[in-house]
Structure formats: structure tokens, C-alpha cells
Amino acid sequence: MKKHLYFPGCSLKGSGRAYEESFLAVSRALGLEMRELEDWNCCGATAYMSVDETKSYALAGRNLAIAEREDLDVVAPCSACYLVLNKTQHALQDHPELRAKVVKALKAGGLDYKGTVKVRHPLDVMINDVGLDKISKLIKNPLKGLKLASYYGCQIVRPYATFDDQHDPVTMDKLMIAAGAECVPWPLKTRCCGGSLTGTVPDAGLRLAYILIKEAQKRGAGAIVTLCPLCQFNLDGYQDQMAGKYEKVKMPVLYFTQVLGLALGLSESELGIKRGIISAKAALAR
């Protein structure tokens, strides 16, 4: 069993807990050991970078410094966490002055940062370490007839795409096809879901989320499948408000780990399927 350090981030412990549940269940089924990073703190997401640059790198740096104590890869399922931790590694590599400040601050807290940790996404680990061949062999319940719009959102492939294409990512599509589902062709794979604007500037944010739902519907998808807790939240949670402003829509939004889990024969309750605000029951009954 290959060992990893799991970085949950705040969302996977809150509104995105179905992602944590399904991710951990699928990891076990695939023989991946995920141990939660000891005393991790918030990555800073997009908000903290608007307040203080050096502090936001130090904040992410604390997590990396803790992870460095062991020679294991960090796996971050949340897109914001994945980006921020990777961005910190890049920034501290490229800017020696910044690095000196952050290293000094971390030292004040008794932490040692060297920048040796690799931060990876579950998709990367599943496709490149476990491999599609092995995953295909483990599929017990192929999800024939399930049509999905595979939605990657922004911060997984941009700006530091390492394991997938920046314009047309395919890793999640491959996993969904291995799970027996079908991915409808759609061009909005990496278009912004509105991010935190759904809450702060609803006129703009809601429209962005609505565009995605509408297009998925038009393309004949029975559900959207995603890999980001904020995308899931925006697309799943705001459909009532879209009905008020645009038109009535009903599109379940699942995590890719939930779909993969079902195909691996895991139960709906293990995978947190019922945590969707828009029920996926009809889509999954096919």
C-alpha cells in the first residue's frame, strides 16, 4: 500500500465533506494509504493573498514544512489548496528574497522549510501511480448509461498544469469512462464557476455558474462531475437562486470520487451521495 500525506483543507471538513468521504473510501479501495497531515492549517485560498503576500506564503509554508518531516507526497483534493501549495513552492523557488523572509518566519515558529515536498492531485495519483488498467480491473458495477459533463474548473490545470492539458484536460474523463460512464462533449471544462463571487457579487457569480449548468443540460448530461469543493458548492447550492433569476434548472453535481466509488462497488452512504442538494437519485437510476 503506497503511503501519502492527505491535505484536506477547510472545505473538505465542511461543505465539501462528501468529497472527503468518497475520496478516502476510493483511496482505500485502490490500495492508497492516505494519512491526514498532522495539525494542518488553512492554505489561505484566494482570499488571504489579497491581504498579505508574504504571510500567505508563510501560511502555506507551515503545511509544507510539516509535510517535509516525512518523505511522502502530499495529496490535496481541493483545487484551491492544490494551487496554493504548488504556487508557494514555485514562488519560494523563484524569489530568493521572499524565500528568505518566509524561511525566517517559519523558523520563529520552530519550523524548517526546504521546499522538497511534492504536492499532487488525486487524479494524478490515480492515473499515473495506480493506473487505468488496474482501476478498470477493480470496477464491479459499471455505470452504463450515465452521461456526465466532466468539469475541471480553473485552478487544477492553471497555471501549473503538470499531469494534464491546460486547455483540454482528459484525466477525469478517462476515469469516468473506466467507471463505465459516458462523457458528453462540452467546451466548458475549465471555465470559471464564479468562485467566491457567487456570495460576494451574486449578479456576476450566479451567471457564471448558471452558464455551466445550462450548457451541461443542453449537451444531454444527466449530472456534472467535478473535482473541486467550491465548484460543487456553487453549481449544486445555487440552483434555487438560478430558478429565480434565469430559469428552473435541475442538475445533480457529483464528485468524481463519488462516481468512481459507485463503480468500484462502494455504497452510496459511504460516498456521501445524499449530501447533494440536488438529488442524484434519478440520474444514477438511469
Partner 1 sequence: MALEQKIKYEGDCDQAFAKWVVSQTGGENLRHCIQCGVCSATCPLSLYMDYTPRRLINLAREGFKKEVLSSLTIWLCSSCYSCRVECPKKIQITDIMYLLKRRAIEEGVYPRRFPIPVLAREFGRMIFMFGRVNETLLVMDLFLRTNWFRFLSMTGLGMNLMRTGRMSLLPDHIKKRGELRKVLSALDSEEKA
**Interacting residues with partner 1 (CB under 8 A):** 10-11, 13-18, 39-42, 44-55, 58-59, 62, 91, 95, 98, 101, 104-106, 108-111, 154-155, 158-159, 166, 190-192, 194-197, 199-205, 208, 237-238, 240-241, 274-277
Q: The C-alpha cell of 248 is what?
A: 428552473
Q: How far is the CB of 257 from partner 1 (least distance, A)?
A: 16
| H or E, element range at 225 | strand 223-226
Task: Determine contact, residues 222/146, Cβ cutoff 8 Å.
Answer: yes
Q: How far is the CB of 262 from partner 1 (least distance, A)?
A: 18
The residue among 71 and 97 lying less far from partner 1, judged by its C-beta, is 97
- Burial of 228 by CB count in 10 Å (0-12 exposed, 13-18 middle, 19+ buried)? buried
Compute CA distances 55 → 39, 101, 141, 155, whole Å.
18, 10, 47, 21
The residue among 14 and 145 lying less far from partner 1, judged by its C-beta, is 14
Q: The C-alpha cell of 115 is what?
A: 521546499
100 in helix, strand or coil? helix
Q: How far is the CB of 206 from partner 1 (least distance, A)?
A: 12
Compute CA distances 149 → 145, 229, 270, whole Å.
13, 16, 23
The residue among 12 and 123 lying less far from partner 1, judged by its C-beta, is 12
* CA atoms within a 13 Å half-sphere pointing along the CA-CB vector of 156: 32
The residue among 99 and 174 lying less far from partner 1, judged by its C-beta, is 99
The residue among 205 and 222 lying less far from partner 1, judged by its C-beta, is 205
Q: How far is the CB of 274 from partner 1 (least distance, A)?
A: 7
Q: The C-alpha cell of 254 is what?
A: 457529483
- Burial of 263 by CB count in 10 Å (0-12 exposed, 13-18 middle, 19+ buried)? buried
Q: How far is the CB of 31 from partner 1 (least distance, A)?
A: 29
Q: b/e per residue, 202-224, with b = 16+ CB within 10 A?
A: eeebbebbbbbbbbbbeeebbbb
The residue among 33 and 240 lying less far from partner 1, judged by its C-beta, is 240
The residue among 71 and 94 lying less far from partner 1, judged by its C-beta, is 94
The residue among 140 and 218 lying less far from partner 1, judged by its C-beta, is 218
Q: How far is the CB of 260 from partner 1 (least distance, A)?
A: 21
Q: How far is the CB of 83 from partner 1 (least distance, A)?
A: 8
Q: How far is the CB of 208 from partner 1 (least distance, A)?
A: 6
* Residue type at position 41: N
| Helix, strand, coil tally for the chain in percent (to 5) | 50, 10, 40
CA distance 130 to 146: 24
